């Protein structure tokens, strides 16, 4: 199959949320010895971007977003080992440490955000739920993160988002790591009040918000 | 009935969840929202599992006002019903396992069923408690949960000190969250006068 056709089919497989087809095409790209960064950026990424557009236009809904994100994950599970073997680094839009704050055991909303960010080209370290403040900071330092995403689902636990930002400020790390907050009781005003850099209402707007937050860092 | 004679235990509550509620949780809010066959099939597939995954149960206790901790939210009530409901932890485990297994959408759909089932369990318990209030010649309020209005989330401690929640497998974390997560706690005030309650039709 022509490479252009293959790239175009890769895009379509993500738009369709067709995991089997996406996996077949990813394997085909490997077997043809294609430039895998080009495969990702010109084949699969345009698909997930189109899915985001369709969501914004009200054509797609959460299930389509999730399905397409799952396809991207499946594709990367095939391509990443090949990139590693060839000692090639997949281009990343940035490194994100994400988790639900200490004392809060809600997980699924945060997992959706992690999944969407991963599908859209960010390196994501998901710490899970009930994450101690120190662990957010230590992990961000360890992996040299660009951004810390902190979810809280209760009015009681959201207060710890403020504490986290304060700790980062005290340690002189607030310039090094951007902080984005989210969760049911959280809003833009809260993010501003506590000194967080960003806020996202849902998984898809989180992708856009993170791109905007990290945009200035990622430009060459 | 529970070991404590004034604690009532409800189980085998009939839980029905309209598909539209799941679709709403999945973001299908517009009139023209088209649900794909794949998503419809996944919803049906997860719905079929509910019979084995749901354990809807509730515990409640009706106290005279002076038997309560006399928090301001109880003021004016002749009696107060305190209730804790849950759907158990099987569904949560199963949803988490699906997500772990890269089946995020199926896991999310199942989790949505769980949230609706917990709410439906609370609705069922609410109805039974309201009937009991009426049987006592009193007027039930709407149900309210700790964490709303002036009833601080820390009042969960009082709820759990008053009700043997462990009998239905519910515990409270240090941060006042219930485990299993798909649990609901609430109060209903019983008033002597209809004018005191905002519940529609008394």
pLDDT reading at B202 higher than 80: no
Range of B79's domain?
7-196
**Positions of CATH 3.40.50.280 in chain A:** 95-215
Q: What fold, for A3-85?
A: 1.10.1240
In a domain, B22, yes or no: yes
pLDDT reading at A80 higher than 80: yes
Min Cα separation A199/chain B (Å):
20
In a domain, B1, yes or no: no
Min Cα separation B153/chain A (Å):
8
For an interface test with A, the pick among B36, B98, B104, B152 (most A C-beta atoms closer than 10 Å) comes out as: B104
Q: Is the ipTM of this complex over 0.85?
A: no
**Cβ <8 Å between A61 and B28:** yes
pLDDT reading at A115 higher than 80: yes
**Cβ <8 Å between B36 and A155:** no
**Positions of CATH 1.10.1240.10 in chain A:** 3-85
Q: Which residues of A touch B39 (CB under 8 A)?
A: 63
DSSP B27: T
Q: DSSP of chain A, one letter per residue?
A: --HHHHHHHHHHHHHHT-HHHHHHHHHHHHHTT--HHHIIIIIIHHHHHHHHHHHHTTSS-HHHHHHHHHHHHHHHHHHHHHHHHTT-PPP-S-EEEEEEBTT----HHHHHHHHHHHHTT-EEEE--SSB-HHHHHHHHHHHT-SEEEEE--STTTTHHHHHHHHHHHHTT-TTTSEEEEESTT--HHHHHHHT-SEE-SSHHHHHHHHHHHHHHHH--
Q: Is A154 on the interface with B (CB under 8 A)?
A: yes
Comparing A11-15, A36-40, A142-146, A153-157, the range with the smallest average pLDDT is A153-157
Q: What is the CATH number of the domain that holds B96?
A: 3.40.109.40
Please tell me the total count of domains within chain B: 1
Q: What fold, for A95-215?
A: Rossmann fold (3.40.50)
At residue B30's C-alpha, the angle toward residues A64 and A149, to 5°, is 50
- Per-residue pLDDT of B61-108, as tens digits, reads 999 999 999 999 999 999 999 999 999 999 999 999 999 898 999 999
**Cβ <8 Å between B96 and A107:** yes
In a domain, B2, yes or no: no
**What pLDDT shows up at residue A217?**
52
The mean pLDDT value for A175-189 works out to 94
From B30, B39, B175, residue closest to A63, measured CB to CB: B39
């Amino acid at each position: 199959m022509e490479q252009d056709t293959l790239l175009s089919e890769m895009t379509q497989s993500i738009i369709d949320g067709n995991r089997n087809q996406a996996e077949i095409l990813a394997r085909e790209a490997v077997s043809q010895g294609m430039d895998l960064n080009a495969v990702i950026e010109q084949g699969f990424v345009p698909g997930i971007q189109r899915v985001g557009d369709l969501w914004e236009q009200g054509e797609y809904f959460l299930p389509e977003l999730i399905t397409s994100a799952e396809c991207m994950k499946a594709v990367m599970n095939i391509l990443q080992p090949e990139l590693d073997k060839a000692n090639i680094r997949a281009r990343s839009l940035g490194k994100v440490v994400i988790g639900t704050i200490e004392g809060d055991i809600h997980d699924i909303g945060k997992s959706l955000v992690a999944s969407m960010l991963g599908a859209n080209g960010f390196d994501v370290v998901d710490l899970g739920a009930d994450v101690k403040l120190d662990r957010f900071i230590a992990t961000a330092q360890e992996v040299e993160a660009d951004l810390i995403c902190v979810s809280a689902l209760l009015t009681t636990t959201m207060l710890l988002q403020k504490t986290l930002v304060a700790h980062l400020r005290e340690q002189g790390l607030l310039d090094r790591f951007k902080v984005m907050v989210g969760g049911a009781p959280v809003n833009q005003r809260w993010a501003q009040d506590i000194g967080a850099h960003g806020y996202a209402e849902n998984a898809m707007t989180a992708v856009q918000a993170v791109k905007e937050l990290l945009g200035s860092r990622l430009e060459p | 009935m529970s070991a404590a004679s004034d604690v009532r235990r409800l189980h085998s509550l009939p839980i029905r969840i309209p598909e539209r509620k799941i679709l709403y949780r999945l973001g299908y809010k517009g009139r023209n929202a088209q649900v794909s066959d794949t998503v419809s099939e996944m919803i049906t597939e997860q719905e079929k599992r509910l019979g084995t995954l749901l354990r809807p149960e509730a515990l409640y206790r009706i106290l005279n006002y002076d038997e309560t901790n006399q928090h301001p939210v109880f003021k004016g009530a002749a009696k107060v019903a305190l209730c804790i409901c849950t759907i158990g932890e099987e569904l949560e485990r199963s949803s988490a396992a699906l997500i772990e297994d890269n089946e995020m959408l199926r896991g999310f759909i199942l989790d949505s069923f769980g949230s609706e089932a917990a709410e439906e369990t609370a609705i069922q318990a609410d109805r039974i408690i309201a009937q009991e209030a009426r049987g006592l010649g009193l007027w039930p309020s709407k149900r309210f949960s700790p964490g709303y209005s002036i009833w601080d989330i820390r009042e969960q401690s009082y709820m759990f000190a008053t009700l043997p929640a462990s009998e239905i497998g519910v515990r409270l974390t240090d941060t006042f969250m219930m485990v299993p997560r798909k649990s609901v706690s609430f109060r209903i005030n019983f008033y002597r006068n209809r004018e005191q309650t905002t519940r529609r039709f008394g």
